[in-house]
Amino acid sequence: MKDILLITPPFTQLNTPYPATAYLKGFLNTKNISSFQMDLGIEVILELFSKSGLTNIFQYASKQSKKDWSENAQRIFALQQEYGKTIEATIAFLQGKNASLARQICSGNFLPEASRFNAFNEDEEGFTWAFGAMGMQDKAKHLATLYLEDISDFIVECVDANFGFSRYAERLGRSANSFDELYNELQKELTYIDTITLKLLKEIVVAVEPKLVLFSVPFPGNLYSAFRCAQWIKENIPAVKIAMGGGFPNTELRDLKDKRVFEFFDFITLDDGELPVELLYTLVSSSGVENQLKRTFLLENKEVVYKNNSLQKDYKQSEIGTPDYTDLVLDKYISVIEIANPMHSLWSDGRWNKLTMAHGCYWGKCTFCDISLDYIKVYEPIAAKLLVDRMEELIAQTGETGFHFVDEAAPPALMREVALEILRRDLVVTWWTNIRFEKSFTSDLCYLLKTSGCIAVSGGLEVASDRLLELIKKGVTVEQVAQVTQNFTVNGIMVHAYLMYGYPTQTVQETVDSLEMVRQLFELGIIQSGFWHQFAMTAHSPVGLDPDAFGVIPQQNGTSFSELAKQITFANNDIAFKDKTGINHDKFSFGLKKSLFNYMHGVCFDYELQDWFDFKIPKTKIQPDFIATCLEKEAVFTIKANIKVIWLGGKPTQERIIKTKKGKSWEMLQLTFYDKINTFSIALDQEKGEWLCGFLEILALQNKLITTLGQMKLDFETYFDDFELFWFSKPMEILKSNGLLTL
């Protein structure tokens, strides 16, 4: 028996749990409130994609009329015995338990194949090229993913049209200003997936016997299942109280008015869940005595009310505890490789512990973003030592050393301190995060991040146009993005760029010029991954809050924005609009995405931009060497006295050598350094060499002393003259390229 049951409803990710319930469980531990968590999505997937699960699917489908089945569905149905024979071994392989199966999968005579394999079989060499030099394991994962997608296609066509691996009945949650459609759907008979979901839900609710069930609903594709589960609990165990929180209500349900929602849920909470959940638990544990609540909708006297009457302040990030993944079936998640996008493969392949460096966004100005909401507006970083403590706790708890920092934008200074702390503790971790392309990301900082285990960053280039970047208030320029992405790339950190088209007032010329900028960035190899998305206006962004200022006209089926606002009783986030320019940005979608696919794989840079579109576009006004010119920086020979100096290398060997020139000989000190890959040597005057060896020990991370370049200069000039000449000498430049960093 547990006090609280935390549930993520179907479906989010196959490869790793969505972290919200783990965050809440970690907080509840600090309050000695017992809890149990469940990712219902992965449980349903594992039930479906098993031998018995497929048998049941095919039996269910056999009772339907087959006259309208596609040829693909008929093929899969005819091969049902082969699917049943191979499914459990394939799932085990994708769970990392059956690595030797990779060779059999790649042999081409193990998995039954339907339409998802067509493109692969038509151009197998091309697919291998598209994914890079795929190893046997990765190629097998991709083939196994196609196999699962074939089965998914059959389920959608013949069993349950709402099914999707990372969403379920998503259309019911998208821009649902009215609750009517979802409510009507919930009055219908259970779907096939519903029956499996509710069977698993019943088992866990009966076993846990909670007082309070919390559904974390991050996306529209989780909404229907959350309501269906809540409906079952209400009908079968009415004494249990039910609440919903998470990303969907935080962004979509802030204007909730429909009383019917509370036929399913007792409470809807907004924003950070720790304090609202604690207060709800106090309420349900106190025999109905009135308690104060935090950011909570409920039904009172048959009316929807919003209570935010608690004077207690939200918990600081240092007080919420370490995320706790206990109860989740971590060894049963499935790693898949779906598409040829390096960053997307990180999202879908492998298990990642999720952590946050800082609550909110330290920038908080982008006009397309929901910066009026607390999850972005309230910025609060976590101390680096505490963050790395939590990393160590999670490694001990999960056995996984991979971390995805799920920040809106990780702060460069905090990333530096986290990297230093990781290195001081000799932790072996792999991590990646989202950033802004700040000029703070110098080559030296990127070197440090890579050394600490950073493998990738993603960031918003958005519209590659300085005019629009200024309108967005992005705080960067295209030139700055180019320089920063080069710094990451030369230090071996993959860069993924979020790209946007259709921003208000964007002209056709600016769209074409943005594409040319992106082409050059990929051709120079300083961005390796990207994704174009069309601008969407949200109710809580500066554009949505003041559309006139950005030249857009909100509308919905001919209804004015002001009238629509009065009619909204359920979800309110995405807003339909017209751009006053009258440009149809939709028509650019296919060409932008097709060109990007090719650029990501290093081809078609010589194509004319016109070749990607089936309609006439203007020629670009961007010079073909624009990005290359941005990268031509002149060396700066100045000393910043307050900048930190750190030595990441080891202790060199010393050898006295004799140099001879024009008949004159003198003694020098040769220092030989060894790192994991290279051996390199530098030669200095003997006294300066000995001084440097001593000072490198001071600069070593293990000393935990902060030494500035000004202090280094002062110490040097106690014994010698002209530190600048020494600091910018060829031997020191070699050392600065191999671990002597200024941060």
Question: Among 121-135, 200-214, 514-528, 672-686, which stretch is predicted with the lowest mean pLDDT?
Answer: 121-135
Cβ atoms 413, 364 nearer than 8 A: no
pLDDT score recorded for residue 579: 83
| pLDDT at 731 (0 to 100) | 94
Pairing of strands 353-355, 402-405: parallel
Neighbours of 705 (CB within 10 A): 10
Domain topology for 4-41+169-319: Rossmann fold (3.40.50)
Mean per-residue pLDDT for 578-599?
A: 90
- Average pLDDT, integer, range 279-305: 88
At 129, the pLDDT band (50, 70, 90 cuts) reads: very low
Mean pLDDT of all residues belonging to the chain: 91
Superfamily of domain 352-629: tm_1862 like domain (3.80.30.20)
Count of other CB atoms within 10 angstroms of residue 263: 14
How far is the C-alpha of 230 from the C-alpha of 380, rounded, in Å?
A: 34
For the chain, percent of residues with pLDDT exceeding 90: 74
pLDDT tier at 345 (50, 70, 90 boundaries)?
confident
pLDDT of residue 287: 66
Which pLDDT score, from 0 to 100, does residue 127 have?
Answer: 52
**133 pLDDT tier (thresholds 50, 70, 90):** very low
Q: For 216-230, what is the mean pLDDT?
A: 95
* Centroid of chain to Cα 257: 32
pLDDT at 339 > cutoff 70: no
Least confident of 290-299, 567-576, 730-739: 567-576
162: helix, coil or strand? coil
- In this prediction, residue 167 has a pLDDT band, given cuts at 50, 70 and 90, of confident
Whether the CB-CB separation of 322 and 356 falls below 8 Å is answered with no
Beta-bridged to residue 646, according to DSSP, are: 741
The confidence score (pLDDT) of residue 288 equals: 56
- Does residue 128 have a pLDDT over 60? no
The answer to whether 416 touches 441, Cβ cutoff 8 Å, is: no
Q: Among 462, 449, 464, which Cα is nearest to 513's?
A: 464
Task: Summarize pLDDT for 598-625 with one digit per residue, the tens.
Answer: 998 889 999 999 999 999 999 999 999 9
Residue carrying structure tokens 């060829």: 730
Q: Which DSSP string do the residues of 161-220 spell out, in sequence order? A: TT--TT-SSGGGTTT-SSSHHHHHHHTSPPPHHHHHHHHHHHHHHHHH--SEEEEE--SH
Specify the amino acid at residue 198: L
More confident residue, 484 or 639: 484
> Residue 492: which of 436, 430, 449 has the closest Cα?
449
Give the pLDDT confidence score for residue 264 in this predicted structure. 98
> What integer is the mean pLDDT of 508-515?
95
9 contacts 226 by C-beta, under 8 angstroms: yes
Q: In the chain, what are the domain boundaries?
A: 4-41+169-319, 47-158, 352-629, 645-742
pLDDT band at residue 122 under the 50/70/90 scheme: low
Residue with tokens 């460069």: 412
Out of 74-83, 563-572, 632-641, 690-699, pick the least confident: 563-572
User: Other CB atoms closer than 10 Å to residue 351's CB: what's the count?
Assistant: 19
DSSP 221-288: HHHHHHHHHHHHHHHH-TTSEEEEESHHHHHH-TT---GGGGGT-SEEE-S--HHHHHHHHHHHTTTT
Q: What is the pLDDT of residue 663?
A: 74
Q: Residue 557: pLDDT above 60?
A: no
- DSSP-derived letter for residue 338 is -
